[in-house]
Chains A and B, each alone.
Chain A
Amino acid sequence: MIQVDLPRFGRFQAWRDAARQLAGNRVAPDQVAWGDAGLFGTDPVPPPGPHPVTASNEFLALAQTVASHSDPERWALLYAALIRLQQDRRFIANPADPLTDRLARMAKSVRRDIHKMHAFVRFHELPAQGPRRSFAAWFEPEHPILEAGAPFFVRRFADMDWLIATPQGLACFDGTLNFQPPAPRPTLPPDASHDLWQTYFANIFNPARIKTQAMRSEMPVKYWKNLPETGLIAQMLADAPRRVQAMRDAGATVAPAFAARVTARIRQAPDDRPPDTLNAARQQASRCTRCDLCHAATQTVWGEGDPSAPLMIVGEAPGDHEDLQGRPFVGPAGQLLRQTMAGVGLDPAQAWLTNAVKHFKFTPRGKRRIHQNPATGEIRHCKWWLDIERRFVRPRLTVALGATAAFALTGDRAPLTPRRGSVETALDGGPVLITWHPSLILRLDPKPAAQARQQFAADLTQAARMMTA
């Protein structure tokens, strides 16, 4: 039997050095007795042996965490796992293996304790000794985690001196971190910020919802004795029913007289008068609830461009990009439209660009929104706005992109293919040139897409010609 005793600090490294040498000689796990903190003295460890010893990074990370567990058996378990790992590399990745399971549970318990240390250490301010402010805390962890838990505070509180005292030792920081053996529990001076903290704790609590089970599982009672705020909990719970009853008894109150004056000043009265400008129409449309699309869509996407333009281009409905930005034709299909227009000598800024339906219709799929075609009812409801737009813009020519726009403008829902490239008459009079919607071109396979792209450009060329004629 070989007795290996590990020091108070730097224990994991010491275990790793000893385990490497023992495993190099393939010393059986039951031939090693591991101990903490010099109770039995240490036997000489055999010199490096003939067998190679390897371990994955994952195992080392696991072992380092398990090393902070309070179970005295942890060193023996880790050594047994290391020996087993030399023949069977896979067992450590199998959650159904009992040893893997046990080590994983121990690591989880340690990680939780470290996390709770980061959460529940409460510093008290001490009189400063120099230019840096100075703080101290007393904390009682479940496992010997001081060394593993302290670097967090170095990263967080680099500009102050601090001391964390625990039953297992002290962590002191004054620009560098060092560990010292345990000392008697320090008396910490009263700190005014702790009184403010208690005020905060008592007032952020909602007495109408009591869930003490949730509180206890996340803030286990074993940590309470060192938390200043937990002293208030009993009184807060005792008062809660009375406070809730008081709210009930008080019931609704009478609003002070000035309240109505304040809200009257800022509340926008609904305006249902027929709009007398395009801009007024836009304002009204931004609050439109004529169909149900407004509930899911972000906002009304109104037309844009030159309101006195002789050319109006009507698409189907805003897509994802248009909905987020609140502007028409800014997504991929819009870019294709703008490029093609520029290519045939039409300036998008000198036309009125709008959609037959002014809200985005979609079905949610996880983090994406899948475009849906607007229904006939939605197109009919939204025609109200398209008609108003047309009354103010009074275009000489309208280009309908796709079947929805063609239907909204002409009332004809016949298939688009035979109609494309022809000029029809809008319901309110005026010529309507029918063409593809650019999103169709983006959806098609390369070969038909190239043909559709050509037809689209030819139709827009025809529109340009009609404008100059």
Chain B
Amino acid sequence: MAPRTLQQKLAILSDAAKYDASCASSGTTRRDSPAGGIGSTEGMGICHAYTPDGRCISLLKILMTNFCIYDCAYCINRVSSTVDRARFTPDEVVTLTLEFYRRNMIEGLFLSSGIIRSPDDTMSQMVRIARTLRVNHGFRGYIHLKTIPDASADLVAQAGLFADRLSVNIELPQDASIRELAPEKRPETIRAAMADVRLSREAAKDRTHTGKRPPRFAPAGQSTQMIVGADGATDRDILRTSANLYSGYDLKRVYYSAFSPIPDASAALPLIKPPLMREHRLYQADWLMRFYGFEAEEIGAAHPSGNLDLAIDPKLAWALANRAQFPVDVARATRDMLLRVPGFGTKTVTRILAARRNGPVRYADLLRMGAIMSKARAFVTLPDWHPGALTDSAGLRARFAPQPEQLQLL
């Protein structure tokens, strides 16, 4: 067989990488290149393109190789799959990254890999690529490295010095499903790897007794990904796991990835239509936990099944299940309570707090400040608006849920 061209390898190894949802390039240290090197990072991430699957392209997201000795049922690259295999040389990855970067197509590199030979062997090659970019080419852009859970602490420590972000995928929301569907992986070593990253980040923030700061360790933090819909976990289970992960490992993000059919499926998992709406609702719930002061249990308890209502967003579902707390007086309510009003986002709440210092806030003001009053009106009182019996009316949910669809006759 003729050796594959760079273009063929890129096709195979980007196709193999697309099931990783993360593409963030934000939240790292500020760097620029006028003093030497190439590239910059300015806090805010930049999405350079979008594909029709609605996901952004911020980083060159590729696998170093899609050869793998593990047999994870949900993964296209598992050892038992018959997918085409390829392997980049380290120089090819470096060149692709720099040439795309110079043309302003990407913010940097997100490098992952199948496990070849051993976790340490794979991790050391990924670290080598990151080191070449940083040291030999003075690359100041963003680097996200996927950490192999069983790799040695020494290699992870090096990875953290060159990468902006490290991530270890938890893969599935429940330990039992990891053991069943990814038999070579162990949930406890995955979590231990996350704990190590957290501890290394904290250690790098402590100054020495001379006041010297040690080198930054993965300044953009760590993230993880969970596949939704491949096992029987309810949304409440998923949110519980997320809450545990956020509280334990100082994660920047948990990504939810709707289980999506792969070209070479395993008999262990059905080929389904990816539950995109469920994924969307989970992201909304995740936002509620991180920015709106909600607990996983509150959101999960809104529906007895333990799953989120797919027809309406989780904040609205929570408000409908807790109507005794409404209506809220916008002129007096605390920030925490305003954040719980459906239709009020964090920015709207900040604006309300600024505006009510200057005088009464009326219905039209809220509209102008970005509140979605079609949702909020049932849950707030204003100088010129009172919901009356609307808050407690039986038909309130039906006002928000989409109309049931008329089925077509065959």
Interface residues of A (CB under 8 A from B): 90-91, 93-98, 101, 115, 118-125, 133, 135, 137, 152-160, 191, 193-197, 199-215, 218-219, 227, 229, 233, 236-237, 240, 244, 246-248, 250-253, 255-256, 258-260, 262-263, 266-267, 286-287, 289, 294-300, 323-326, 362, 364-369
Q: Quick check: B10 and A218 within 8 Å, CB to CB?
A: no
Q: Give the CA-CA distance A358 to B17 in the complex, in Å.
A: 38
Q: A156-B40, A200-B10, A300-B188 are known contacts. Are A233 and B52 too (CB-CB below 8 A)?
A: yes
Q: List 25 A-B contacts (CB under 8 A).
A: A90-B358, A94-B359, A95-B369, A119-B48, A154-B34, A155-B40, A158-B34, A196-B6, A199-B11, A203-B11, A204-B15, A206-B19, A209-B274, A210-B54, A215-B51, A215-B52, A215-B54, A227-B49, A247-B263, A252-B267, A296-B240, A299-B195, A326-B192, A366-B247, A369-B244
Q: Quick check: A206 and B53 within 8 Å, CB to CB?
A: yes
Contacts of B263 in A (CB 8 A): 246-247, 250
Q: A209-B54, A286-B188, A369-B248 are known contacts. Are A251 and B49 too (CB-CB below 8 A)?
A: no
From A192, which residue of chain B is reached at the shortest CB distance? B99
How close is A101's CB to chain B, nearest CB, in angstroms? 5
Contacts of B246 in A (CB 8 A): 364, 366-367
Q: Quick check: B192 and A299 within 8 Å, CB to CB?
A: yes
How close is A11's CB to chain B, nearest CB, in angstroms? 24
Q: Quick check: A205 and B52 within 8 Å, CB to CB?
A: yes
Q: Quick check: B104 and A123 within 8 Å, CB to CB?
A: yes
Q: A218-B56, A219-B49 are known contacts. Are A324 and B198 too (CB-CB below 8 A)?
A: yes
- Which of the residues B49, B80, B187 comes within 8 Å of A201, measured between beta carbons? B49
Q: Quick check: B264 and A253 within 8 Å, CB to CB?
A: yes
How close is A292's CB to chain B, nearest CB, in angstroms? 10
From B79, which residue of chain A is reached at the shortest CB distance? A259
Q: Give the CA-CA distance A204 to B102 in the complex, in Å.
A: 20
Nearest 9 A/B pairs, CB to CB: A211-B54, A214-B54, A255-B80, A364-B247, A155-B32, A95-B351, A259-B80, A252-B267, A96-B365
Interface residues of B (CB under 8 A from A): 6-7, 10-12, 14-15, 17-19, 32-34, 36-40, 42, 44, 46-57, 60-61, 69-71, 79-82, 96, 99-100, 102-105, 174-175, 183-184, 186-189, 191-192, 194-195, 198-199, 240, 243-244, 246-248, 250, 258, 260-267, 271, 273-274, 276, 295-296, 351, 354-355, 358-359, 361, 365, 368-369
Contacts of B7 in A (CB 8 A): 195-196, 199
Contacts of B191 in A (CB 8 A): 297-299
Contacts of B265 in A (CB 8 A): 247, 250-253
- Which of the residues A118, A153, A211 comes within 8 Å of B276, measured between beta carbons? A211
Q: Quick check: A203 and B18 within 8 Å, CB to CB?
A: yes
Contacts of B61 in A (CB 8 A): 204
Q: A94-B354, A96-B355, A286-B188 are known contacts. Are A122 and B11 too (CB-CB below 8 A)?
A: no
Q: Quick check: A256 and B82 within 8 Å, CB to CB?
A: yes
From A164, which residue of chain B is reached at the shortest CB distance? B104
Q: Give the CA-CA distance A362 to B42 in the complex, in Å.
A: 37
Q: Give the CA-CA distance A252 to B369 in the complex, in Å.
A: 52
Contacts of B48 in A (CB 8 A): 119-120
Contacts of A115 in B (CB 8 A): 44, 46
Besides A93-B358, A95-B354, A214-B54, 5 more A-B contacts (Cβ < 8 Å) are: A95-B355, A197-B100, A233-B52, A263-B71, A295-B175
- Which of the residues B14, B79, B175, B260 comes within 8 Å of A204, measured between beta carbons? B14
Q: Give the CA-CA distance A385 to B87 in the complex, in Å.
A: 45
From B248, which residue of chain A is reached at the shortest CB distance? A369
Q: Quick check: A133 and B102 within 8 Å, CB to CB?
A: yes
Contacts of A258 in B (CB 8 A): 79
- Which of the residues A202, A250, A325 comes within 8 Å of B195, measured between beta carbons? A325
Q: Give the CA-CA distance A236 to B265 in the complex, in Å.
A: 22
Q: Quick check: A259 and B192 within 8 Å, CB to CB?
A: no
- Which of the residues A152, A247, A259 comes within 8 Å of B262, measured between beta carbons? A247
Q: Quick check: A124 and B103 within 8 Å, CB to CB?
A: yes
Q: Quick check: A205 and B18 within 8 Å, CB to CB?
A: yes
Q: Give the CA-CA distance A206 to B261 in the complex, in Å.
A: 10
Q: Quick check: A206 and B260 within 8 Å, CB to CB?
A: yes
Q: Give the CA-CA distance A300 to B188 in the complex, in Å.
A: 8
Contacts of B18 in A (CB 8 A): 203-206
Contacts of B274 in A (CB 8 A): 208-209
Contacts of A218 in B (CB 8 A): 47, 50, 56
Q: A94-B354, A195-B7, A247-B271 are known contacts. Are A364 and B261 too (CB-CB below 8 A)?
A: no
Q: Quick check: B51 and A201 within 8 Å, CB to CB?
A: yes
From A95, which residue of chain B is reached at the shortest CB distance? B351
Contacts of A263 in B (CB 8 A): 69-71, 79-80, 183-184
Q: A159-B37, A206-B18, A255-B80 are known contacts. Are A299 and B188 too (CB-CB below 8 A)?
A: yes
Q: Quick check: A237 and B52 within 8 Å, CB to CB?
A: yes
